[in-house]
Structures are given as C-alpha cells and as structure tokens.
Amino acid sequence: MSKPYEITASGNLLEIHETTERTGKGRTYREREFVLEKRKPTKGGKDWVEPIKFRLEGDNCDKLDNFNVGQEVEVRADVCGFAYNGKTYVNLKAWSITHAGADGERREVKPMRNTQPRNGGRPYPDDREDDIPF
C-alpha cells in the first residue's frame, strides 16, 4: 500500500465548524471541518485569497478547541481522493494543527468574538444542494 500525499500549509483560520457525527458501515465516527485562508501575492500588488477546507477525524476533532478564527496556524494533512458516480473528490485530511509562531513557540490563545462560519454553518450557498450521499 502506498503512502498518502502529505502537505503542510500555513495561514489564518477563516472558519471553524462544529464537530459532526456520521454513521456508516456499522460504525459511528466524528469529523470536523475548518477553512484556512491562504494569501498569495499577485503582480498587481494585491493578495489573492484562497480559502482551503480541511477535515479532522475522530479524536483529532478536539484539536480545534484550542484555536479561534483569525489565528495564524500551521496544518499538516494527507491528500486523499476517491471516485463516486463518475466524479472525483479530494479531501485534505488534517492530522496536525499548531499555532504559527517564531521558532515554533506556541502563542497565547485569545478568545475571538465571531467563531461562526460566514455562511451560517451551511456547507453551500442556499441555491446549491449537497447531493453527495455521505
């Protein structure tokens, strides 16, 4: 069996979603999603903002309890993919999230006012439905 692709990304936490429980194949498991805001400079001098969604599973879901929206973090994740009904899907399965700081130091966690996703917790805008069966 080959090893999954591993990536490291850093940026600001844009959204932190609540932990959800799912049942499948006779077992229940937990998952929690969060969005990292990655900025890339452009030729025009402005930043191009890329929102990147990651997912934590199982006991790793609790790792997000120590973080707030707006904090600078570093994430390590495996790139996983699968096909369903002729479409290919990619998941960024995070297994490590740490505070970004000088020389690896942990910064103090300060509470932020708004920790809710911008879209009220809905995975898609109102005009689009989630038709994936899992």
Is the pLDDT at 116 greater than 70, yes or no? no
Is the pLDDT at 134 greater than 60, yes or no? no
The superfamily CATH assigns to domain 5-104 is Nucleic acid-binding proteins (2.40.50.140)
pLDDT per residue as tens digits for the range 65-86: 999 999 999 999 999 998 999 9
pLDDT per residue as tens digits for the range 6-56: 999 999 999 999 999 988 888 998 999 999 998 888 888 888 889 999 999
User: Side-chain half-sphere of 34: how many Cα atoms within 13 Å?
Assistant: 34
The residue ranges of every structural domain in the chain are 5-104
Instruction: Give the long-range contacts of residues 4-7, CB within 8 A, separation 24 or more.
Output: 4/78, 4/79, 4/80, 4/93, 5/78, 5/79, 6/76, 6/77, 6/78, 6/79, 7/76, 7/77, 7/78, 7/79, 7/92
Confidence of residue 93 (pLDDT cuts 50, 70, 90): very high
pTM of the full structure: 0.68
More confident residue, 129 or 71: 71
